[in-house]
Amino acid sequence: MSFDDIYRRITEGKRGTTLKEETGESYRLTVPVNVYFEGGTGGEDVIADPPKVIITYDLEVTYRSWGIKDINVTVREVEDFTVAIENSEDLDAEVEQIPVKVAPEACEILWEAGSGYAPDMLEVTLDNAGRVKSCELSFYYYKP
């Protein structure tokens, strides 16, 4: 059984995501996104629209006779999305829309034991001007 077959089997349908699609040498997966503002928002609700984004990434797997030795992830693309800021204290205030573009190299990979080799959650922190300050992509791995 190839790595792609194993990957497909253990990631299919996990955590409400869709099965990855091959795009050349890269993989694509839809993951939930959470957006935060540095220092809080002062009574405002931050809503990502859409609440899920498509991540394009590469997996580099190093094998040994006893199994998988190492897995490296390279994020190739993060789909652009919009953040809607609603003021819960002033219902008459206009909803502010902020476009968010995440540079793939800005994404830090956080490894967590789980049930597959797949990204699970994207968390983005914006500064007060709406620019990406940090990006964390939780990546679950299966440890046999």
Going from the first residue of the chain to its last (144 residues), give the mean pLDDT of each consecutive group of 10, the final group possibly shorter.
60 43 68 81 64 86 75 88 76 80 91 72 85 88 59
Q: pTM, whole model, 2 decimals?
A: 0.70
User: Beta-carbon neighbour count of residue 114 at 10 Å?
Assistant: 18
Distances 27 to 4, 40, 87, 136 between C-alpha atoms, Å:
10, 34, 37, 18
pLDDT the model gives residue 71: 77
The two three-digit tokens of residue 143, written as one number: 């440890």
pLDDT the model gives residue 79: 93
Three-state SS at 40: coil
